[in-house]
Amino acid sequence: MQCWAEFLKPQLESQSDEGAQGEDDPDPVDIPESALDSLKSGFNKATGALLDFIFDLMRGSYLQACIDLSSTSEKLPKLVALESQGGNAPDPPDLSTDLKKLIQHIVLVVQNFDTNVKSVSGSSLPAPPLIQTLGADNLKDEEAEARNRVWKQVQSERKKYVTFSSTKGYGKDNLIAALKASGKVYTFSGQLNSNHRLFCGSADLLQEGGNEPWMNSTEPNADSWKGICDFMGSMTGSTDFCILFDGRMRSIRRISVPRFSTAIF
């Protein structure tokens, strides 16, 4: 009712006054973009996609699609799961153009809400994407076992090239401890002009604050940046290279420059 009162009814009245469309006209109602955009601006991308879908349903854009859906023997979750596979779906059902558009819109919404994060640093097997669980029974034991086996193989291969280590603080000792926990990175022995070890420190990526951190960089804590600089200065191996990014912050540059007499910023 709120959707009708705030969006659909005012637009119908406006169209009726202009003689463009009467209240009994079966054509979909055009919702003013400014009103819908204003509402969506208060939410994230996923919720915005859901609002678009709801409004399309409310204004009758998918009326024929809903009629077609009610007459098919296929279940909606199964249709959504098959559509998410694209051209790889086995024996895709023959759907009307209207129903196919409806399914595609639902897939878009579900994908936006699929917040399952696949962490390559974790030891546990990531859960299947939300959309793959629609219309399907729980994974069989043998399928789950196969997924775990493949996941362990992926982890083993990844560890040949990538390792992760976190630090409890940004002091020099904390960073050295994190480096020691990085295994092959700590024990690396390179050859000049052939194999090198690179350390990077970025002031504008260290912290985020304010209402729009993607627009305005946040100045990191001075002690934290001093610790990073001290750590960088201790990396004096013949094949070690360090890069410090000050994020175009004068205060950070004033901390960095005095500590590196031959550095390039």
- Identify the band that residue 156 occupies on the pLDDT scale cut at 50, 70 and 90: confident
pTM score:
0.45
Whether 44 maps to a domain, the answer reads: yes
For 106-119, b/e burial (b = at least 16 CB within 10 A) is bbbbbeeeeeeeee
* 8 A C-beta contact, residue 218 and residue 208: yes
Residues 98 and 13 in one domain: yes
Residue 188, CA distances (Å) to 80, 161, 178, 184, 242 in order: 49, 12, 15, 6, 15
At 235, list the tokens.
């990396």
Using the predicted structure, report yes or no on whether residue 124 has a pLDDT greater than 70.
Answer: no
Examine residue 109 and state whether it is found in any structural domain, yes or no.
Answer: yes
Q: Does 141 fall in a domain?
A: no
Q: Please write down the HEC assignment for all residues of 133-183.
A: HCCCCCCCHHHHHHHHHHHHHHHHHHCCCCCCCCCCCCCHHHHHHHHHCCH
Least confident of 78-82, 198-202, 254-258: 78-82
**Domain assignment of residue 62, yes or no:** yes
Q: Is residue 6 domain-shared with residue 109, that is, in the same domain?
A: yes
- Looking at the fold, whether 90 and 189 belong to one and the same domain comes out as no
Q: Is the pLDDT of residue 33 over 70?
A: no
Asked if 31 and 100 sit in the same domain, the reply is yes
For residues 183-221, b (16+ Cβ closer than 10 Å) or e, as one string? eeeeeeeeeeeeeebebebebbebeeeeeeeeeebebbe
Tokens of 32: 């003013």
Within a domain: 37: yes
Enumerate residues 6+ apart whose C-beta is below 8 A from 165: 178, 179, 181, 182
In a domain, 253, yes or no: yes
The answer to whether residues 18 and 100 belong to one domain is yes
Joined tokens for residue 249: 């912050």
Write down which residue in 113, 131, 161 finishes a domain.
Answer: 113
Asked if residue 144 is part of any domain, the answer here is no
- Res. 46: pLDDT tops 90: no
Residues 66-85, mean pLDDT to the nearest whole number: 83
Residue 227 has a pLDDT of 94
pLDDT at 21: 45
Given 80, 96, 113, which residue is the final one in a domain? Answer: 113
Contact predicate 197/241, CB 8 Å: yes
Q: Judge if 177 and 86 occupy the same domain.
A: no
Asked if residue 120 has pLDDT above 60, the reply is no
What's the pLDDT tens digit per position in 8-32? 777 777 767 665 444 455 566 665 5
Residue 63: partners with Cβ closer than 8 Å, 6 or more residues away: none
Number of structural domains found in the chain: 2
Q: What are the pLDDT digits (tens) for 215-232?
A: 888 999 999 999 999 999
Structure-token match 């399928």, residue found: 143
- Average pLDDT for the chain: 80
198 has pLDDT over 50:
yes
Where b means 16+ CB within 10 Å and e means fewer, 145-167 reads eeeeeeeeeeeeeeeeeeeeeeb
Specify whether the CB–CB gap between 220 and 252 falls below 8 A.
yes
Residue where a domain stops, chosen among 63, 97, 113: 113
Residue 138 is assigned to a structural domain of this protein: no
**CA–CA distance, 127 with 65 (Å, rounded to integer):** 32
Residues 183 and 107 in one domain: no
What is residue 125's predicted lDDT score, i.e. its pLDDT? 60
Host domain of residue 200: 172-259
